[in-house]
Structure 1
Amino acid sequence: MQERELLSLVAKAADDKKAIDLVALNMQGVSLVADYFVICHGNSDKQAQAIAREIKEKAQEHNIHVKRMEGFDEARWILIDLGDVVAHVFHKDERGYYKLERLWGDAPIVDLQEELRA
């Protein structure tokens, strides 16, 4: 699966669980960690966990190896490492504190509307 297809899969999975303020950053040329970061949040621990679980399950359904998932039990900042795409699922109280979009301000924002419509 190409990285853009993986980005689409992650965005759709998060959107299916009503992720709030879903943003994707194109990290190519900005960071060696991943090609894309997907950032979103849930209004509660349970919603953040549901978003993360859906991303993990959709990846596994498509035979995509989940390299690591951290922070699931605490549900404050859940990181799902899928290789080319890293998803950051925050609890609403934590997202504003870490401000990843500003931290990685050099990274272009990806318009996810086309991925979410498909």
Structure 2
Amino acid sequence: MNTESCVFIIDDDYAVRDSLGQVMDAAGIAYQTFESAEHFLRDYCPGKPGCVLLDLNMPNMSGEELQTELIRRQFRLPIIFLTAYGDMATKARVMKAGAVDFLIKPIPSNQLLERIQLALQHECQT
């Protein structure tokens, strides 16, 4: 993994952000947490390498709407959707739009870390 890469965790649920942060800490992966898509857009420094671990259902701007905005702004971060409410139509839409993965909560930590590693490798290739 690129040691400068960061996992950007965007989820409106504090407990989920905290839990995912603990997983990243235990794996030695740099991360930042954001309670909303709007906070991420406000605070993200364009060009900072990494991947986005993104909740689908959030108030105001959904994960899918954030994906659209990141594409519009040409932020080329791999996106992994992590949701408790996934359906095949949504998965098809976000994957077609360029998401690298679509995972259903809860997911075992080791599987999540494998998917993050793959996303970070994808980031290095783009």
Q: TM-score with structure 2 length normalisation?
A: 0.36
Q: TM-score with structure 1 length normalisation?
A: 0.38
**Higher helix fraction (1 or 2):** 2
